[in-house]
Amino acid sequence: MLHTNLKHVLSKDDFHKLITENENVMICCGRMGPMCVPVYAAMSELENEYNDVVFADMEFDIPEAEVIRNAPEARGFMGLPFTFYYKYGKTVAATASIQSKEQIETILEEKFK
C-alpha cells in the first residue's frame, strides 16, 4: 500500500466501484518514487479545493493495477506515475510522469467543470 493520505484503491472491484459510483475521479497509479510523490502531494492539497472530485492512489506493481497499466490510454506511457481522470466511469484524460499542481488543476478545470 502507498503511504499517502489519499483513498487507496486495492483491487479491481475497488477500482470499478470508485469510478462508477462517483462522478469525478482522479487516480494516480505509481510508487513512492521521486516522480510520483509530488503528484500525491498536489492531489492531497487539491482534495480540499475540489469537493466534487474523489482523489485516490493505486500501487503500480500490484496485479490489480493492470486496469490502469493496460488501459488503451496508457499505451506509449514511459514514466510513472500514470494518472487517470474519470467522469461517470469513462476516461476523460490520462497523463504519465510528474505533473505540477497547476498542470493537474488545468485538467480538473477542463474535464470536471
CA nearest neighbour of 82 among 51, 53, 106, 59:
59
Is residue 111, in this structure, part of any structural domain at all?
no
The whole-model pTM stands at 0.97
What pLDDT is stored for residue 111 in this prediction?
98
Domain that holds residue 25: 7-104
Crossing angle for the helix pair 101-112 and 37-47, to the nearest 10 degrees: 50
Is residue 62, in this structure, part of any structural domain at all?
yes
pLDDT at 103 exceeding the cut of 90: yes
Is residue 49, in this structure, part of any structural domain at all?
yes
Q: Which residues contact 29 (CB under 8 A, 6 or more apart)?
A: 57, 58, 59, 60, 65, 68, 69, 80, 81, 82, 83, 84
pLDDT at 46 exceeding the cut of 90: yes
State how far the Cα of 52 lies from the Cα of 34, in Å rounded to an integer: 28
Give the mean model confidence (pLDDT) for residues 63-72.
Answer: 98
What pLDDT is stored for residue 26 in this prediction?
98
- Confidence band of 57 (pLDDT split at 50, 70, 90): very high
Average pLDDT over the chain, rounded to an integer: 97
Count: domains in the chain: 1
Is residue 73, in this structure, part of any structural domain at all?
yes
What pLDDT is stored for residue 9 in this prediction?
98
Is residue 2, in this structure, part of any structural domain at all?
no
| Cβ atoms of 53 and 40 closer than 8 Å | no
What pLDDT is stored for residue 1 in this prediction?
83
pLDDT at 113 exceeding the cut of 90: no
Is residue 112, in this structure, part of any structural domain at all?
no
What CATH number is attached to the domain comprising 91? 3.40.30.10
